[in-house]
Amino acid sequence: MLCGSSVPIVGQRDRATQVFGDPGLSKRSLLAGKPQLSWSTSRSKPEKENSLMKTLKISALLLFAAALVLPFALTSSVEGQGATEALTTQMDARLDDSDLFNGLGTLGAAVNECTNPAVAGRSFRDNKAIFEEVEHVGDGLGPIYNDVACSNCHQAPVTGHISQINEFRVADANGNPPPGTQTLVQDRAIDPDAQEHINTGFPLHEFRSTRTVLGDGFVEAINSNTLVANVNNEPFAQRGQLRTVAVLEAPGNNRTGRFGHKSQHASLFSFSADAYLNEMGITSSLLPTENNIFGASSAAFDTVADPEDAGNEDVGAFTDFMRSLRAPGRGPITADVTAGSSLFDAVGCAVCHTRNFTTSATGTIINGGAFTVPAALGNKIIHPFSDFALHNIGTSAGIGGEAGVNDRFATTTIALWGVRAKVRFMMQGNTMTIFDTIQVHGGQAATARDNFNLGLNSTQKNQLIAFVLSL
C-alpha cells in the first residue's frame, strides 16, 4: 500500500491476468464439493473391545459418522487442481522474521525506530514494526480502548498469533446492544470519567478470545463461491450460515464474511480498520467516528481530530502485514496423531472444521475491486480447519447485533490451525483441555460430541486429542 492511499493496491501488477471469479455464483463452483482430506494420510484399525455389544455399538456409531462425512472425503475442489501448498511458519519466536514471511512484497531490513523508522507499505518488516507499535494518546489512542498495540492481542508465541486477552461483550435479554453504542465494552479509558460501566439492564455477558491472524491473507483469498459450495455440501442438520457483509474500502460492494467471531468482515482492510477503532479507539477514513461511551458521546475526551489515521497508512500497514504472513505450521506427526486424524473425520469434527481450501487463482479481483490476488496468495492449498460459517453449538450467550445473522446464538467455526500454541479454548476461552472443549459442544455439534464420547475407546480419544494438539 502506498502512503496516503486509502485503497490497497497490493497485487496490482497482476491486473494483466485478472480473473473475475468472486462476485457471482457459477454452476461450476456450486457443483464443486469439499476439498480432499489430504491430511488424513492413513486410517488406523480400531482396537478390539472385550464386549461384543460395545463393539457393535461403536461400529454402528462410526459407520453413521463415516456416512456423514464420506462426501467430504471423496470430493475435491475444482480450484485445487494444479495448486501448491501455502508456506507455513513454525511459530517459533527464536526464529528470524523470514519464518513468518510468505513472500508477498519484500522482507526488508530489520527496523530500528531510532535509525530507520518503519514506513507503511515498504516491506514486511516495516509493516510488522507498525503492527507492534505502541500507540499513545497523542496518536489518537482512546478515549476508550482495549489495548495499545495490535501485537498485544496477537503475540503468542509469535507476532500475528493469539494471546491470553479476551474482549468483553454485553447485551440486553434479547441480545441487543445498549442504545447508542455496541455490544463491545472497552476495558480501558484515557480518563476515569470516560470508563465504561455496565448496569443491570444488560444481563447477557460474554468473553470472546483473540483469534490468530496467521494465514489470514490466504483466507481472504478464498473465493466466496468456494465457501458457499463447501457449506452447501454439509449435512442439513450441521449446515452453517454464511454472511454477506459490506467491504468498507469498496462502498456498495459486498462479499462473503470470514473474519471475526461472527464472520463480520470479508476483507483484511475492513478488519484492520474495525480493530483499530474498537480495540485502540483510533479512527480512519473508513471508520471516522469515535465510539460512544455506553451511549454517551466521547467527544469531550477526544483530543485528536478525527479521522486520526486519515490516510489509512496504519490500517494499510496492518493489512499488508497480515496478508504477508504464513499459515500456522503443524507439530510433530506421530503414529497417534496419524490415527487421530482419521478419527477426527470419523466422528464428524471435519463437517464444520473443514480441513482444506484452495485460494483463488493469481490475478483474481476480490473485495469489490479493491484487491487483486497476488502470486504469493493465489492457488494455494491451506488447512484452516474451519468452514468460516456460523453454527449454533449451544455455547454462545446469544449476544447479537450483527446484521444478516438469523440465529444470534450462532458463532463462526474457530479455525484450529495453530491451536497447539493455545492454553485456553472455545470462543470464550473458558475450557482448558481439548477433552473439555469437545464436551461443551452441543446443538449442531452434538452428533460429533456424542460420536466421540460413545464411539471411541480411551486410546482412540487420546489419539484424536493428540491430532488436534498437532495443529
pLDDT digits (tens, 9 = 90+) for 308-318: 999 999 999 99
Backbone angles phi, psi at 351, to 5 degrees: -60, -45
Is the pLDDT at 11 greater than 50? The verdict is no
Average pLDDT over residues 437-461: 98
Model confidence pLDDT, tens digit, residues 352-393: 999 999 999 999 999 999 999 999 999 999 999 999 999 999
Specify the pLDDT at position 401.
64
Does residue 15 carry a pLDDT above 60? no
On the question of pLDDT at 334 being above 50, the answer is yes
User: What digits encode the pLDDT tens for the residues 67-82?
Assistant: 444 444 433 343 556 8
Residue 323 or 40, more confident: 323
| The pLDDT value given to residue 404 | 64
The domain ranges of the chain are 15-468
- What is residue 403's predicted lDDT score, i.e. its pLDDT? 64
What confidence tier does 402 reach under pLDDT thresholds 50, 70, 90?
A: low
Please give the pLDDT value at position 354. 99
Q: Which single residue is written with the C-alpha cell 510433530?
A: 332
pLDDT of 407 = 87
pLDDT over 90, % of the chain: 75
The per-residue pLDDT for range 216-237, each reduced to its tens digit, is: 999 999 999 999 999 999 999 9
Give me the mean pLDDT over the 22-31 stretch: 32
Which pTM was predicted? 0.84
Average pLDDT in the chain: 85
Check residues 428 and 361 and name the one with the higher pLDDT.
361
Whether residue 1 has pLDDT greater than 50: no
Going by pLDDT thresholds of 50, 70 and 90, the confidence category of residue 25 is very low
Percent of the chain with pLDDT over 70: 82
For 265-309, the pLDDT digits (tens) are 999 999 999 999 999 999 999 999 999 998 899 999 998 999 999
pLDDT tens, position by position, 433-442: 999 999 999 9
